[in-house]
Amino acid sequence: MILKVIVLALIGTLVAGLLKQVKPEISIVAVIVTGLIIIWTILGEIVTIKTTFSKLFESSNVEGIFSAVMKIVGIGYLTEYASSVCEDYGTSSLAKKVQLAGKVCIFAMSTSAVTTIMSAITKLV
């Protein structure tokens, strides 16, 4: 499975390098598409991880926290993906904007996680 990702990444860089001379605009699209395909290949793994963990957390009452953590992981991953693509093609200012937006979203998400944690703790005491 990891081999597939490696092959895809190498082919993607080759195609992007080739297209850079011939048609620079389409090389950007090639890089974005390879990124998407890599995400698509690892989607199955993410789903299995999520189901096993959610089954684990089903029993305890901290279900809210797990979904918040998954959300934070998702936001972190997607913003990292977008900002690295932006940085690749020179628009590093956009990359920084995306990272800032990701931080703000994660911070907003963490407030709800903190409240659920607090409610869980107060229930325990």
Partner 1 sequence: MSDGVEIIFKIAGIGILTAVINNILEKSDKKEIATLTTIAGLLIVFAMVVSMMSGLFKELKTIFNLY
Q: Which one, of 69, 9, 68, 85, lies nearest residue 42 by Cα? A: 9
Shortest distance, position 52 Cβ to partner 1, whole Å: 13
Helices 92-124 and 63-88, packing angle to 10 deg: 170
Shortest distance, position 37 Cβ to partner 1, whole Å: 4
C-beta closer to partner 1: residue 70 or 117 = 70
Residues found near partner 1 in the complex (CB under 8 A): 4, 7-8, 11-12, 15, 18-19, 22-23, 25-27, 29-30, 32-34, 36-37, 39-41, 43, 46-47, 50, 67, 70-71, 73-75, 78
Query: Kind and range of the H or E element at 11?
Result: helix 2-22
C-beta closer to partner 1: residue 31 or 95 = 31
C-beta closer to partner 1: residue 29 or 104 = 29
Q: What is the dihedral of CA 9, 12, 14, 15, to 10 degrees?
A: 170
Q: What DSSP state is assigned to residue 105?
A: H
Shortest distance, position 73 Cβ to partner 1, whole Å: 7
Shortest distance, position 85 Cβ to partner 1, whole Å: 12
Helix (H, G, I), strand (E, B) or coil at 125: coil
